[in-house]
């Protein structure tokens, strides 16, 4: 969602009022990989729940809510422009600003078959390697096996650009690190584009 504002104060849901200029601290994250489905951050979620990401581009605010899991790297389901330096905030489930700071990072493309190794990130995140896999589903496909997922600690799955979560519900999936296999609880449909982002 984009909000065009002439004032630095904007009104978000719940009702939450945020002064975009109120935080003067800045943490530089270096380069972060992006693809059409997501932005990958070298930041570990401090708690499980609904987080929010807010940034600006050409005077328009972008505000995205997403689910993050405690102890896992944050993946924001939004595509940002490549080769651009963004400043953004992250909001915890209680609507407080993570580390009471702005983050800044330069976006680079996350390419199929080319792993990206990050520097250490904010909030205690260690350096990690991330990569992207893509394939087209066959009719009634229920699993996919990828040697690239060997030693992966976390995977994030997108089906036709929509994020899916790991779990036992119908629209979720199960990841087996030992077998490098992702099992889809609901069979895929022929022709669906599947994107997998993984962390090592």
Segments of the chain scoring below 50 in pLDDT = 1-19, 21
CA distance 75 to 197: 9
Q: What are the sequence ranges of the domains in the chain?
A: 2-111, 131-199
The CATH class of 2-111 is mainly beta
Mean pLDDT for the chain overall: 86
Please report the pLDDT score of residue 22 as a whole number.
53
pLDDT of residue 118: 78
pLDDT of residue 117: 86
SS3 content of the chain, % helix, strand, coil (to 5): 5, 50, 45
Q: How high is the pLDDT of residue 20?
A: 52
Look up residue 130 and give its two tokens. 């991330």
């Amino acid at each position: 969602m984009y909000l065009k504002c002439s004032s630095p104060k904007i009104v978000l849901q719940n009702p939450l009022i945020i002064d975009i200029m109120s935080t003067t601290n800045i943490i530089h994250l270096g380069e972060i990989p992006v693809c059409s489905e997501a932005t990958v951050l070298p930041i570990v979620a401090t708690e499980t729940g609904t987080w929010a990401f807010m940034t600006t581009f050409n005077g328009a605010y972008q505000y995205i809510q997403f689910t993050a899991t405690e102890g896992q790297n944050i993946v924001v389901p939004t595509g940002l422009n490549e080769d651009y330096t963004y400043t953004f905030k992250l909001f915890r489930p209680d609507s407080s600003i993570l580390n009471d700071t702005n983050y800044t990072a330069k976006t680079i493309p996350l390419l199929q078959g080319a792993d990206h190794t990050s520097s250490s990130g904010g909030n205690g995140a260690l350096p990690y390697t991330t990569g992207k896999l893509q394939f087209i589903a066959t009719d009634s496909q229920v699993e996919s096996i990828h040697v690239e997922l060997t030693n992966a600690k976390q995977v994030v799955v997108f089906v036709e650009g929509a994020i899916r979560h790991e779990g036992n519900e119908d629209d979720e999936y199960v990841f087996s690190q030992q077998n490098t296999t992702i099992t889809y609880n609901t069979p895929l449909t022929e022709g669906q584009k599947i994107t997998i982002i993984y962390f090592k």
